[in-house]
Structure 1
Amino acid sequence: MNLDHLRYFKTIAECEHYGRAAELLHVSQPNLNYAVTQLESELGVPLFEKAGRNVRLTRYGRLFLQSATESLQKLDGSARTLQELGTGGGLVLLGGIRKLAAQTVPELMRGFLAQPGNETVRFELHTESGFSRDLLQAVAEERLDMAFVSHPGDPNVFDCLPFQRSPFVVVVPPWHPLAEKESVTLRETLPYPYVYFSQRGGLRLPIDALFREIGAKPKIAYETEEDTVVAGMAAAGFGIAVVPDHPVLRCLDVKILPITDPDPSRTAYLCRKRSAQLPAAACRFYDFCAETLGGKNS
């Protein structure tokens, strides 16, 4: 059984006529007869039966056509992928935490595709669970080419490109005592209970670092994982919260207070595995991101 025989069989099945199939394939009809005879001999079942001047698939032929079609599609798809990779195109597998995957990453993809030579590049964008550590694990296992995350991976395993994001802010309900202020220091928030990020959330580490800078710990009343849930609980009066500044906060009934001390700036990272053999398109996209994200707030 070879690929030519499978293609011949599929074309005959579609045309239901040896002569028309021979014309489409640009081969002689005896070659088609020989190919089908070889297939039937190997499989041990008849694939076609006569229907006047035409032929039609037997029940065995219908089953084999499904398998042959799927096999040819997979082989053709793999061949196209390899051809694209050889010419600098192909598929780039990206991951991203949800906030970055919603805006920053698509903007980078669009900018990259607009550059000459990248027209044949395709992207898949995955969020996995939405948490940085799960995305980094996917990169380490080479299920993703690279990922946009909120904290860097092990420098022995990953190349990590840092870039600036929107800063942290404090959000409080509009009736809260701090709502009378236009900005706060983190120390001014210490008397009040917090809705805080759980250990699983990727933002727990950088927010903990802010409190370590002032040598204090927050009064944690509730913990949860998602930043929109943290802000929503703050709006409902369960506590105040430190969250990334984001347009979605303007949709909630909260007062948004810039932090004046310590420095509330926030860094995100684009990480790829050091030892991975990435396709040329993925390498070009990483370099494009390095140039585009330098000094950019996102």
Structure 2
Amino acid sequence: MNLDHIRYFQAIAYYEHYGRAAQALHVSQPNLNYAVTQLENELGVPLFEKHGRGVQLTRYGRLFLQSVNESLRILDAGTRDLQEMGRGGGLVLLGGIRKLAAQTVPDLMQKFLATSGNEHTRFELHTESSFTADLLQAVAEERLDMAFVSHPGDDTVFENVAFARSPFVVVTPPNHPLAQKSSVTLRETLPYPFVYFSKRGGLRRPIDALFQKIGATPKIAYETEEDTVVAGMAAAGFGIAIVPDHPVLRCMDLKIIPLTDPDPGRTAYLCRKRGALQPTAAQRFFAFCQAQLSQGAAL
């Protein structure tokens, strides 16, 4: 089926007149007659019928026009995307765990768009289930161009850019024995039960690593996945918790205590698949983020 013929059909359906359609398309009327005849022969149904000095769609033509309009819309959108990519613009598919997707990633997007030459770039930001494993899987399958996650992917599969994040803190109910302290070491938390991250959560691994540094195991009373839920359960008295420092904690009935030992510094990662064919805009954004994140400020 000839694409030009389909566009001719669409124009005739719009103008309901061969002559006006020919003028709008800058082609001869016999060319339109030939195109419609070819389409009708291929489809096996009449698409137009005479109506005064013009034409109107048959019921078959109306059905065909619906498919034509949708197909050409998708085709034209894809063509525009490729043209934007050729100019250094285009669509960048991003993923991020929710805490990074709420602030860090939008900040980077805004700075990138404000840089000369990036004005035509568009972004889609996805959180999937907000678990690092799911986001890395989406990057590996090239459903995402890159993702901001809490731990790195396999170095043989992913290119990982590490950057600093705000540190972990200990949170307790206001009446907890530790709540009177201005800071706390991890050893001082060992006598108390914990609300802890489940193994599926991306924060389980770095918190486990803190306890491994002191050769100890926490008393886990409850496990859950989301950091706001962990903090909420701690506020309700189900145990103390170690969570990332975040402004939302100050909206809860909690005592927030700096963790001084071991070093509670925390790292996140920007990951993309090695060797993946990416639009120019995605390549430029990845390089831009590398430069921004290498400055070392906690995000």
TM-score by length of 2: 0.98
Residue 44 of structure 2 is matched in structure 1 by 44
Aligned-partner SS, 1:206: helix
Letter in 1 for 2:31: N
Alpha-carbon separation, structure 2, partners of 1:41 and 1:273? 48
Letter in 2 for 1:118: N
Letter in 2 for 1:297: A
Alpha-carbon separation, structure 2, partners of 1:191 and 1:75? 64
Residue 30 of structure 2 is matched in structure 1 by 30
Residue 100 of structure 1 is matched in structure 2 by 100
User: Once the two structures are superposed, what CA deviation does each residue of 1:253-281 show, in whole Å capped at 9, x if it has no partner?
Assistant: 00000001000010000001112122211
1:275 aligns with 2:275: yes
Letter in 1 for 2:112: F
Residue 284 of structure 2 is matched in structure 1 by 284
Residue 136 of structure 1 is matched in structure 2 by 136
How far off its partner does 1:86 sit?
Answer: 1.5
Alpha-carbon separation, structure 2, partners of 1:114 and 1:29? 49
Letter in 1 for 2:277: Q
Alpha-carbon separation, structure 1, partners of 2:58 and 2:277? 47
User: Once the two structures are superposed, what CA deviation does each residue of 1:23-46 show, in whole Å capped at 9, x if it has no partner?
Assistant: 111112221111111111111100
How far off its partner does 1:54 sit?
Answer: 2.1
Alpha-carbon separation, structure 2, partners of 1:47 and 1:83? 33
Residue 16 of structure 1 is matched in structure 2 by 16
Alignment of 1:173-192 (within 5 A): 173-192=173-192
Residue 297 of structure 1 is matched in structure 2 by 298
In structure 2, list runs of 5 or more residues that go unmatched.
none
Alignment of 1:127-166 (within 5 A): 127-166=127-166
Alpha-carbon separation, structure 2, partners of 1:6 and 1:275? 38
Residue 80 of structure 1 is matched in structure 2 by 80
User: Once the two structures are superposed, what CA deviation does each residue of 1:155-182 show, in whole Å capped at 9, x if it has no partner?
Assistant: 1111100000000000000011111111
Aligned-partner SS, 1:229: helix
Alpha-carbon separation, structure 2, partners of 1:213 and 1:143? 37
Stretch of structure 1 that moved more, 20-29 or 259-268: 20-29
How far off its partner does 1:212 sit?
Answer: 0.6
Alignment of 1:170-249 (within 5 A): 170-249=170-249
Alpha-carbon separation, structure 2, partners of 1:166 and 1:35? 64
Alpha-carbon separation, structure 1, partners of 2:72 and 2:199? 48
TM-score by length of 1: 0.98
Identity %: 77
How far off its partner does 1:73 sit?
Answer: 1.5
Alpha-carbon separation, structure 1, partners of 2:206 and 2:293? 20
User: Once the two structures are superposed, what CA deviation does each residue of 1:125-174 show, in whole Å capped at 9, x if it has no partner?
Assistant: 11011000110111111111110000011111111000000000000000
Alpha-carbon separation, structure 2, partners of 1:157 and 1:185? 37
Letter in 2 for 1:24: A
User: Once the two structures are superposed, what CA deviation does each residue of 1:51-75 show, in whole Å capped at 9, x if it has no partner?
Assistant: 2122111110011111111221222
Alpha-carbon separation, structure 1, partners of 2:43 and 2:2? 13
Alpha-carbon separation, structure 1, partners of 2:240 and 2:177? 11
Aligned-partner SS, 1:276: coil
How far off its partner does 1:199 sit?
Answer: 0.3
Aligned-partner SS, 2:230: helix
Stretch of structure 1 that moved more, 227-236 or 177-186: 177-186
User: Once the two structures are superposed, what CA deviation does each residue of 1:54-102 show, in whole Å capped at 9, x if it has no partner?
Assistant: 2111110011111111221222122112111112111111100000000
